[in-house]
Structure 1
């Protein structure tokens, strides 16, 4: 665990939340995606914000607290739980902010990112990197995110503690098969158990 100046220790959960935040931000089409500087202008926190502060949240250098979580969810048009759902304040589902309501009205628009699947994909990728011992910062690699998203989309259900290991194994199999090909393993006891990913498999995916 690391510690940013003037903040509490950064946990794995904080890093995973930051990775989801950045992935959701990048998934927004460029012509509608607010820049980090624009997000700083929109900032509603008690302290003055600049592009550097927004970047630190997205890198996981500063932990996403509840107020920051609600700000980013509203600004990016996603549900707060798509970014993280483990904060003490999240005992009940927060109401939709005006920005989120407006974005959800575009739900029928072609190409709208599926933020829930993106969040699940980051969860699988984060678990995989931890299992094989690859650098945790690879959780923002677009190639690996795309592969994890494909696994989650094929599965079709939510990623939970009960099935994340099986989905991680499936991800490892697909990596060893060359990315988007290969046999699919089963999840949560629906068939034969998928194989365990080898350490450094993601490294093979990136560097051949």
Structure 2
């Protein structure tokens, strides 16, 4: 019995056992490679801030856009006027950087914010009342943004229009009252002219 066990151990691995072992080794190697690749990609994403930077810039532009009554594009600017009409914001595409310039009452410069830097290029175009912004970031990623043009009335314009309406209504009312007063006076004069002379008036 002891001799048979020793003899069996000397035979070594069978072909099936070698095949299974090799297959398991290949699977293990592939899993390790996949884990390594995932780790590398994750590290690259953590080290690549372009997605994060663009997301912040995109969010800031949309915040200003949603609070704007007017949005137009001129040359390398996108101009947004706030709903209250008190502030203009210009998205300034300047060479390899994008700024957000702020103006109070359309003329008084109030400061700027750097939105993106080290971009490799950009294009601005308008089609069907929609502004298309294409940005090529520092890692050659193309970023698209679409903004619908706006031409709504600001709160300032609405207040001015309301004031003009009230002033117009007031003047019309005054004119009407003056006309009524004038007509009343004319009617009174006509009545006096056509009033018949009584006997007492003739005797006097």
TM range (shorter): under 0.3
Structure 1 length-normalised TM: 0.19
- In the superposition, the TM-score normalised over structure 2's length comes to 0.19
Q: Which has the higher contact order (CA 8 A, sep 6+)?
A: 1
